[in-house]
Structure 1
Amino acid sequence: MSMLPGTAIGVKTREGVVLASEKRLTYDGFVLSSSVKKVYAITPHVGVGFAGLMGDVNILKRMLEMEAKYYELQHGREIRVRGLAKMLSVILYSYKLAPMLTEIVVGGYDDNGPQLYILDPVGSLIEEKYAALGSGAQLALGYIEPRYNPDISLEEAEKLVVEAVKTVIERDVLSGDGVDILKITAKGPEEKTVLFKNTLAQ
């Protein structure tokens, strides 16, 4: 199991992708915040979800936003999903001697349809149908795997990630408090937040 704090999840459907992350910020066993955002739309059709240290998350988010905007100005169109994932892979690899302490799921929709990729701290890039990263990854995958099918609807995928995060929060003290959800289809992004109490005994 990854020791990077927090949990990020991605699920691909025929209509688009659902990215999600819980909202807890921890450091050295202490809960510092219960309202941290770790999933973001970088462009109208590509988003990212993070597990790991928030300092590195914020740096990478800003770098991706700048690079995506530069690409759009240079080429006159939005960067594609795989293009942004490859760009992130290069950025992460460039820090390989002192890696960014984060795992990342990249998802979105372009003229190749919905796509989902995961990256480790040194930029290894893998395409997946569903993924979970961070300290709650094994628990989340254990919930998602038997319930996933390629014909799942966007709404069903949203319910699946919420329940997966709830399952994680019951057992992983590094995850908690709620879940931020980002759905991306051909129409663009849609964000929502679901709040719930951590049922793990404190």
Structure 2
Amino acid sequence: MGGRVDLVDLGSGSPEDGVSLCRPGWSAPLSPGFKLAHGTTTLAFRFRHGVIAAADTRSSCGSYVACPASCKVIPVHQHLLGTTSGTSADCATWYRVLQRELRLWELREGQLPSVASAAKLLSAMMSRYRGLDLCVATALCGWDRSGPMLFYVYSDGTRLQGNIFSVGSGSPYAYGVLDRGYRYDMSTQEAYALARCAVAHATHRDAYSGGSVDLFHVRESGWEHVSRSDACVLYMEFSGSAP
């Protein structure tokens, strides 16, 4: 839906009242220099049975919930996923570019690149646009001939390999849960519980995270979407306050 947004006053009809309503289907330009706050909670960790990726589903725009059921874990190919944090348009654009480049690589080489190569390729492409206000922070989760692999890539070209990454405004809360419960030799069910618990607690503390918790698992056979669970229900279960 296009057009402009008409700000309808709910008081005396004067804009100075400061109370207004945006009619659905209309739009109004923002004043120059006005920036909206964004937030999210995404995480990924590597363990002996693969890589777990989890994220909340709330897309925020300032103090408003733009979408309560977005998907912040994006399939790249059958053995590679990426979490998305930052500006939605930037994340979507760069993942489309990465998917295209990896497809060309596969056609040229006859095989898919390693997770490290995919991370290096994404890092190199985005670093060319450093300083142009791109906002993309991602954890690439995959399985290749080296086993389960995990890389963090930022839009300034930063590329890091590790066992645990959490990105977004809720990441400090998620890291608290992950640092306490993470072990490389966890069972699959323990890993699922840890990821759900970390995101659920982050959504409880971080105003910009919420909705549901998406859980993905990358195995040697490929990735699978394990579940989407209500974040509030999970938090009550893990905190022992469920009725």
Task: Give the TM-score normalised by the residue count of structure 2.
Answer: 0.77
Taking the aligned partners of 1:68 and 1:96, their CA distance within structure 2 comes to: 22
Task: Please state if 1:33 is matched with 2:46.
Answer: no
The residue number in structure 2 matching 1:127 is: 161
* CA–CA distance in structure 2, aligned partners of residues 144 and 100 of structure 1: 28
Higher relative contact order (CA 8 A, sep 6+): 1
- The residue number in structure 1 matching 2:217 is 183
Gaps in structure 1 of 5+ consecutive residues:
none
Contact 2:80 2:115 in 1 (8 A): yes
Partner residue, 2:94: 60
- What corresponds to 1:192 in structure 2? 226
Correspondence 1:43 to 2:65:
no
Aligned: 1:71 with 2:102: no
Equivalent residue, structure 2, for 1:102: 136
Deviation for aligned residue 1:99: 3.7
Shift of 1:187: 0.7
Deviation at 1:25, TM superposition (A): 0.6
> 5+ unaligned residues in a row in structure 2: which ranges?
1-36, 236-243
Q: 2:111 & 2:231 partners in 1: Cα distance?
A: 42
How much does 1:153 deviate? 2.4
Give me the whole-angstrom Cα distance separating, in 1, the residues matched to 2:231 and 2:75. Answer: 26
Distance 1:91 1:99 in 2: 15
Specify the SS of the correspondent of 1:19: strand
Aligned residue in 2 for 1:13: 47
Moved more, 94-103 or 29-38: 94-103
Between Structure 1 and Structure 2, whose CA radius of gyration is higher? 2
Does structure 2 conserve the Cα–Cα contact (< 8 Å) formed by 1:40 and 1:182? no
Residue identity matched to 1:169 = T
- AA of the residue aligned to 1:120: Y
Structure 1 equivalent of residue 126 of structure 2:
92
Q: Please report the RMSD computed on the Cα atoms of aligned residues, expressed in angstroms.
A: 1.7
Code of the aligned partner of 1:172: D
Matches of 2:99 and 2:110, distance apart in 1? 16
Q: CA deviation at 1:4?
A: 5.3
Distance, in Å, in 1 between the alignment partners of 2:54 and 2:161 is: 17
Distance in 2 (CA, whole Å) between partners of 1:56 and 1:158 is 29
SS at 1:100's partner residue?
coil
Q: Distance in 2 between matches of 1:147 and 1:161?
A: 10
Equivalent residue letter for 2:143:
Y
Q: Give the 4+ runs in structure 1 shifted more than 6 A.
A: none
Aligned residues: percent identity?
Answer: 26
d(CA) in 2 for partners of 1:190, 1:93: 30
Q: Structure 1 171/107 Cα, relative in aligned 2: closer, same or farther at 3 Å? A: same
Deviation string 1:28-73 (CA, Å, 9 cap, x unpaired) is 2210111111102211111100111111111012111111111111
